[in-house]
Amino acid sequence: MNAEGDRRRIARPRLYHTKSRTGCIRCRGRRVKCNEARPVCNNCHRHSVSCYYDREPNPVVAARPRQSQSRAPSPALRDDLHAAVGYWELRAFHHFAVATCETLPGSHIPSVKKCWALQVPLLALSYKPLWNQLLALSALHLVTSGHDQSELLACRANYLDATLQSYRPALGRLSEETAESACFTSILLLVDTFATLQHRPLDNYCYEPPMQWLRVTQGARAVFEASATDTDPTSSIMTIISSSNHNQGITSADRESRQRLYYLLDTFPGETPPLQGVSQAYQETVDRLSLILAAWEAGEPLLALCRRLMSFACLVPCVFLELVEQKVPRALCILGHFFAVSVCAKDMWWVGEAPFREVHAIRACLPPELQHFMDWPYQIIINPSGPPDHKG
């Protein structure tokens, strides 16, 4: 028995090596030595598997290549890129420039599409929040397109978390050099939070408004307002702002038909008459929503409608968003109508099933005597081919 044990020890010698704390995920999971070569370590290359890093290497181990002098990123971000970028980060960065950019609001306009595809990726190399959010959104787009690799999901989660951690402090340091990049970060974060609505848990008997998305919209508005005086009129962000015309393509007849939604301003059963400021907030919000509906009926291009949808919550009065958070029935009904109109963009990956889910949940949570105010939105989600007539 002792001899057999000796042979077993001889056949299976113990491996002694220094533990790698910054190796790739696969090597650490297998508890084997990783040489930390990037983008693919020797072990992963030998086994022909994906190699993914989630920890920065030891500076002594990872030699940093020289950076080109043309359009050089900031020193801090350059170090991060050289030390931490792996396969899925590069894949997401490439996917943004060739695919995700084409799905962003307003990208039906060539100058806007060129801005997202060429200029924004360059800006991201010098502004960490924009770099983080660009990768987070593009990785989400890849996941939505059917790529379900665990490394990609980890990439998505890591960079979204990094965005939220780096974005808020950066807003306190807005300057002429960072204002443009901060605005682009805000837009991408808006799309990202809207995209997550179709996966958020909903309770038909106790509806919780999508406050994370609404708070991001308010943050975006604050960024654009704070950046207004610091943004160069010839900058890339001005290409997008100047191309926005929220009344374009809407005829005078369409404007007259907007009043069809004014039944949302009628007194609700059992409701105390709202204060003047609240009434004004409702009026402005319904007018903004009616513009989107009129544009849909006028046959406006899909990506132009997407721009209206994405800016809706940024442009309505803050009072209205506070009423939504308080779950005031009238405010929830108006929000339900917004999601119903959002069905016009249901084929966009970042819209998807969100309008259907939100309309059902809002209608179900209202008292029976108020549910008829959601009849029109309910008709739309049942037959989303176009907006049905409503006689008020």
Tell if the pTM clears 0.75, that is, is over it: no
3-state secondary structure 140-185: HHHHHCCCCCHHHHHHHHHHHHHHHHHHHHHHCCCCCCCHHHHHHH
Give kind and range of the element (H or E) at residue 251.
none
- Separation between Cα atoms, residue 117 and residue 146, nearest integer Å: 22
Instruction: Dig out the tokens for 66 from the structure.
Output: 């020289």
Instruction: Dig out the tokens for 246 from the structure.
Output: 């929220």
- Over residues 364-373, the mean pLDDT reads 91
Residue 210: CB partners within 8 Å, gap ≥ 6? Answer: 197, 200, 358
- Separation between Cα atoms, residue 271 and residue 201, nearest integer Å: 29
> How much is the pLDDT for 247?
47
CA distances from residue 77 to 96, 115, 253, 324 in whole angstroms, order as listed: 19, 22, 52, 39
Instruction: Dig out the tokens for 113 from the structure.
Output: 């599409």
- DSSP state string for 68-100: PSTTPPPHHHHHHHHHH--HHHHHHHHHHHHTG
Burial class (CB within 10 angstroms; exposed 0-12, middle 13-18, buried 19+) of 22: middle
Q: Is the pLDDT of residue 236 over 80?
A: no
pLDDT classification of 266: cutoffs 50, 70, 90: confident
The more confidently predicted of residues 108 and 243 is 108
Q: Identify the weakest region by mean pLDDT among 74-78, 196-200, 263-267.
A: 74-78
Instruction: Dig out the tokens for 223 from the structure.
Output: 């960024």
> How much is the pLDDT for 142?
93
CA angle 320, 325, 330 (to 5 degrees): 55
Asked: is 18-57 a CATH 4.10.240.10 domain? The reply is: yes
For residues 37, 24, 153 and 178, what is the CA-based torsion angle, rounded to 10 degrees? -60
Phi-psi region of 270 (alpha: psi -120 to 50; beta: other; left: phi over 0): left
3-state helix, strand, coil in the chain (%, to 5): 65, 0, 35
Instruction: Dig out the tokens for 210 from the structure.
Output: 């999508």
Residue 36: CB partners within 8 Å, gap ≥ 6? Answer: 20, 22, 23, 24, 53, 57, 58, 61, 62
Residues 182 and 129: beta-carbon distance below 8 Å? yes
CA distances from residue 94 to 85, 91, 121, 193, 225 in whole angstroms, order as listed: 13, 5, 9, 22, 31
pLDDT classification of 250: cutoffs 50, 70, 90: very low
Q: Is the pLDDT of residue 372 over 80?
A: yes
Name the residue with tokens 């491996």: 15
Question: Model confidence over 69-86: pLDDT tens digits?
Answer: 334 556 565 555 545 568
- Separation between Cα atoms, residue 263 and residue 259, nearest integer Å: 8
Instruction: Dig out the tokens for 80 from the structure.
Output: 């991060």
In one letter, which amino acid is 113? K
**What is the rounded average pLDDT for all residues in the chain?**
80
Q: Is the pLDDT of residue 254 over 80?
A: no
> How much is the pLDDT for 323?
95
What does the domain layout of the chain look like in residue ranges?
Answer: 18-57, 75-213, 252-382
